[in-house]
């Protein structure tokens, strides 16, 4: 990767350069870090929208609708579709390929799938870095869409400026727990498939969960009803996104502004990854780790003492 | 926590000591590590069964059925119900409380909920350590049940000896992708609610996914049909668990035995946590991190150079 020319072609918005840069990020190419350092001052302009929710909630259709809406307002749109758990090129990825073909003809849309495999340093970090590339390349809205409802998805959408949680009416059983898990991160709720029975009940459940929690930033998450397959409610959603972003920016100078929190989380994750890489270079090796693991498996050693020992070798002295 | 007396009461199977030990693990009490080192040689006897699957698949009912089956065979059963995403005492936790009341009368059952909050060093690690306590305390079967289908859940059930993935017939849309994510970790599949339409289709989907993948250990995952609410299929499941464990143990001496892989993963995670704690003590501080994060938020600095700098301060020299 020729660093300087790539940086300038990214900044000029060249799609092939963006794709190459994201591939370099995915493979943890050291050149990717140099590129990211160079483009970083040119980021921060785009609005990053994270969209997550339970399986089958219709996220992809919603994202496509939102992208079309932005395009009709002459905004450039980047879409990052994240599939954290899929080790195969399964359903979601295939679906994205079909979407990619449909959307690739529009020069104002860039769409990319990212899966868990081969992402040294974590999918959330790779996703954030990919969004930074699109941001620097002049995309106005970047939508990060995740399949699933686990911690990984939460980590990913937390890095966005606005987090949208998509629900559908009439989900049973564990859904209450999932909703609780998502409550904390949702800036906006979408009840999609709002022509189905149970919309009011779902809305009331969200409201009752909202009523027992209070956000540090004082924002009360909106609830938007959509029927994504009919493009109904998309405009309301787009307006609610803008409204929250305005609210957010009015408080951006405060020390606990959202972007500062996101940045702190990001520094911590990058630091953790780097320290572990250093431990593998200077304190132990993959091969030794494998041998030590075998001694744990047959109970001749315990993992706690092994960690003490490696940390000592890195020069951090004896541990309590 | 008086270390020595706690260790001996854990080993004698005292439930209150087990509960205290798990609380110490949850709060990352240094005494917990000393306790774990002491009991570690007494672990490795229990069979640890991880159970995961999509929301609403009926995992709790299945776990309760399996626990009853084991009890009828005079085996002691530990249940760890994990709720990774819930920051509130939401649905699942409440459900577990009700289960706990019902099961607490049986001296051969220990049941405990663990949620994400307050687990320094990660939920997967806390879960594994809690299972080690139950193992050392003489529990024969330890069931780790997770709500959800994200990376966190996968990390948790991967630490088990046997991983059971629970599906239900007729799930739509994104379920294919989720199945793909779970395929890799499933030693056994359960199709629960097998009196519903679409069982054959779900079974054929699993078989077709299995046919395109091959496991390094040569095992072909079984598919068990259950109706947990009627206790139907539970015995078949318990037998399949035993069968897989026998298969596993026949290859246990091989260098890439499953427990060695699990141990390696565990050492890596513990090492990562410890190194970051050391960085906070010697390379930077929470306060400085917050200031640095603000400089990233306003784009006066980039996060990549900040990480370089902190790593240098820890004595690891300039980085490329």
Domains for chain A: give ranges and CATH numbers: 44-255 (3.40.50.300), 267-316 (no CATH)
A185/A157 Cα distance (integer angstroms): 8
B69-80: b (≥16 Cβ within 10 Å) or e = bbbeeebbbbbb
The Cα A71–Cα A54 span in angstroms is: 27
Give the one of A177, A183, A311 whose C-beta lies nearest to B91's C-beta. A177
pTM of the full predicted structure?
0.74
**DSSP code for A254:** S
Q: Is the ipTM of this complex over 0.90?
A: no
Burial degree of B192 (CB within 10 A; 0-12, 13-18, 19+) = buried
What pLDDT digit, counting tens, does each position of A24-40 carry?
Answer: 998 888 899 999 999 99
Cβ contact, residue pair B40, A152, below 8 Å: no
**Which has more confidence, B267 or A204?**
B267
Whether B263 and A315 lie within 8 Å, measured CB to CB: no
Burial grade of A231 (CB within 10 A; 0-12, 13-18, 19 or more): middle
pLDDT given at position A150: 61
All residues of chain B having their beta carbon less than 8 Å from the beta carbon of residue A178 are: 55, 85, 147-148
- Band (A94; pLDDT cuts 50, 70, 90): very low
Residue A138 in this model has a pLDDT that exceeds 80? yes
For residue B162, list its beta bridge partners. Answer: B49
Residues of A in contact with B30 (CB under 8 A): 320
Note the pLDDT of residue A121.
53
The mean per-residue pLDDT over the stretch B292-320 comes to 87
Q: How much is the CA Rg of chain B, to the nearest whole Å?
A: 22
Average pLDDT rounded to a whole number, residues B4-11: 92
Confidence of residue B149 (pLDDT cuts 50, 70, 90): low
Q: What is the DSSP letter of B117?
A: T
Q: Which residues, 6+ apart, have CB-to-CB distance to A285 below 8 Å?
A: none
Q: Please give the pLDDT value at position A89.
A: 36
B125 in helix, strand or coil?
helix
User: ∠B243-B246-B251 over CA atoms, to 5°?
Assistant: 135
For residue B88, how many other CB atoms are within 10 A of its CB?
Answer: 20
Q: What is the pLDDT of residue A88?
A: 39
- Distance from the Cα of A259 to chain B's closest Cα (Å) equals 5
Mean pLDDT of B5-23: 95
User: Tens digit of pLDDT for each residue in A213-236?
Assistant: 777 778 899 999 999 999 999 999
Residues A18, B170: Cα–Cα separation, whole Å: 39
Among A307, A310, A311, most B C-beta atoms within 10 A, so best to mutate, is A307
């Amino acid at each position: 990767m020729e660093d300087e020319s790539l940086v300038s072609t990214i900044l000029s918005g060249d799609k092939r350069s963006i794709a190459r840069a994201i591939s370099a990020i995915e493979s943890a190419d050291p050149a990717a870090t140099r590129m990211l350092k160079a483009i970083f001052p040119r980021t921060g302009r785009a609005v990053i929208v994270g969209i997550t929710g339970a399986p089958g909630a219709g996220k992809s259709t919603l994202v496509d609708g939102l992208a079309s809406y932005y395009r009709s307002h002459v905004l450039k749109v980047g879409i990052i579709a994240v599939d954290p758990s899929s080790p195969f090129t399964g359903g979601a990825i295939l679906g994205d390929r079909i979407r990619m073909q449909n959307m690739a003809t529009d020069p104002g849309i860039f769409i990319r799938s990212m899966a868990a495999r081969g992402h040294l340093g974590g999918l959330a970090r790779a996703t954030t870095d990919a969004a930074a590339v699109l941001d620097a390349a002049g995309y106005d809205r970047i939508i990060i869409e995740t399949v699933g409802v686990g911690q990984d998805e939460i980590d990913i959408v937390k890095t966005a400026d606005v987090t949208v949680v998509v629900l559908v009416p009439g989900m049973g059983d564990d859904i209450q727990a999932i909703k609780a898990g998502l409550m904390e991160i949702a800036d906006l709720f979408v009840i999609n498939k709002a022509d189905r029975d149970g919309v009011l009940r779902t809305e009331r459940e969200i409201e009752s969960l909202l009523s027992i929690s209070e956000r540090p930033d004082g924002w009360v998450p909106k609830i938007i009803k959509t029927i994504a397959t009919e493009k109904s409610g998309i405009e309301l959603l787009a307006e609610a996104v803008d409204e929250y972003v305005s609210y957010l920016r009015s408080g951006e100078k405060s020390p606990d502004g959202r972007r500062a929190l996101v940045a702190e989380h990001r520094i911590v994750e990058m630091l953790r990854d780097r320290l572990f890489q250093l431990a593998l270079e200077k304190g132990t090796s993959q091969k030794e780790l494998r041998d030590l693991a075998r001694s744990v498996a047959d109970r001749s050693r315990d993992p706690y003492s092994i960690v003490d020992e490696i940390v000592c070798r890195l020069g951090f002295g004896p541990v309590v």
